[in-house]
Amino acid sequence: MATIPVDKEGAALSLSDFHELFARYYPGICRQLATVLGDAAMAEDLAQETFLRLYSSPPRDMGNIGGWLYRVALNLAYKHLRREENRRRRELRAASDPAAGSNSHRSFHELQEIREVKEILNTLPVRDRLCLILRFSGYSYKEIASVIGVDVKSVGTIVARARLRFRKAYDH
């Protein structure tokens, strides 16, 4: 992957460099966010926010810009999901109508499971969490290796170990 030079003070990207990075990474980031969020429109919004952050304050080291972009995008997705989860909890508390019955009960259990999975993911090391999310979002080992900066031959082992750590935490 070609690096884009940034001076020692971390000067902003040129417009042409930004356009090149946008064209190269935007589709993959949108796809990743759509998979994580389940909402294509929100995925596009967060992908745009990712690139706004790149343009306004690019990282000093542009050597792994793809990994940086995917990490920023995932962090924005996590933040969005936490806000949505908090909103749903508030709505569930407000709608404590007994007539709602089993639908509210089922939604509550689903929300609890989602919360538990997110909490467990957040206890895992960043690399494990990122590997699991990318793998279960449909990314290939090659794409995962590119994002986390390891040899493609190592990805299978990393994913397997991350799954084991997740399973142990989930079963407790």
Closest of 104, 44, 130 to residue 80, by C-alpha: 44
Position 7 pLDDT exceeds 50 = no
Q: Report if pTM > 0.75.
A: no
pLDDT per residue over 32-66, tens digit each? 999 888 889 999 999 999 999 998 888 888 888 99
Q: How many domains does the chain have?
A: 2
132/155 same-domain check: yes
Supply the range of the domain harboring residue 117.
108-172
Q: Tell me, yes or no, whether 120 lies in a domain.
A: yes
| Beta carbons of 147 and 129 less than 8 angstroms apart | no
pLDDT tens digits along 115-156: 888 888 888 888 888 889 888 888 889 888 888 889 999 999
Whether residues 89 and 112 share a domain: the answer is no
Asked if pLDDT for residue 3 goes beyond 50, the answer is no
16 with 60, same domain? yes
In a domain, residue 101? The reply is no
> Residue 118 falls within a domain, yes or no?
yes
Tracing tokens 């509210």 back to the chain, one arrives at 104
The answer to whether the CB of 125 falls within 8 A of the CB of 166 is no
- Residue-level pLDDT at 121: 86
